Structure 1
Amino acid sequence: METLTAMNLACNQISAVAFDNQCFNRIRLHKLTYYAIREDFGLKSQMTIRAIGKVADAYKVKAKKATGPIDTQRTFRLKGAVAFDCRMISFDLSSDSLSILTLEGRQVMKFEVGDNARNLLAFQKGESDLFFRNGHFFFKCQL
């Protein structure tokens, strides 16, 4: 929960910088925020990169349609979903465990998955969205 919350707090700070500077390009936003976010929130490198990406994506549609400055700052729920890529999470289907990057470093934990999802998970590509609902953590994987 600490990792999820810290990443979303970081997204809110990145969003404030993006909005104040009217800068929504991922690379420019990275240059403006990367080191401060790592220091302020204790995020690992890849966590910071994913948070910057989340903010840039949130502004992307609005920025493409805008003819002038963006007039609404994006905000993120503290328990909102965050994307984990293959550098941040890996699944071991033989032991029903996963290795996930957290603020405290890598942690290995058990997970539950149905047979159909297990077969699909073997072909998982790209990001997995971590979200918290009804007292439980879930991953939504891209296939």
Structure 2
Amino acid sequence: MAKITLFVNEKDHVLNISPDTPLLYVLRNNLALNAPKYGCGIERCGSCMVLMDNEAMPSCIRPCSSLTQTKIITLEGLGNPTNLHPVQAAFMEEQAAQCGYCLNGMIISAKALLDRNLDPSDTEIRAALERVLCRCGTHSRIVKAVKNAAKKMRLNA
């Protein structure tokens, strides 16, 4: 065990954990942040995505000891029920979720894309989301939600 400090959702969290503990486990088990989900465990499905220094990255096998200087943001850190982030609001408005398992990864990936590009093409949106596996077939609504979020964010810029 070691004392490791992680900066998650704008707060320092001092944890007494094994240095090789995957970030996903710490988020869910130690910090009660349950938006990132365990899916595949090999960084292939995207359900465990978080923002690491503003980039959408899987958290399922990333050891916490490698993230002590990293700004980590989870879905819970984007907004809350009374003050949703524009991406969260757009996904709700477009009903872009069916089962919801991919939702965390889709929203996190969309946020990272829109932070870089507020006017992405459909091709750029699909490329940004391709790391997140969705089996429900809501892809057209997800693309529409990202476009809606981009519009909202452009208006707020």
TM over 0.5: no
TM-score (ref. length: structure 2): 0.27
TM-score (ref. length: structure 1): 0.29
More helix by percentage: 1
Report the structure number with the largest CA radius of gyration. Answer: 1
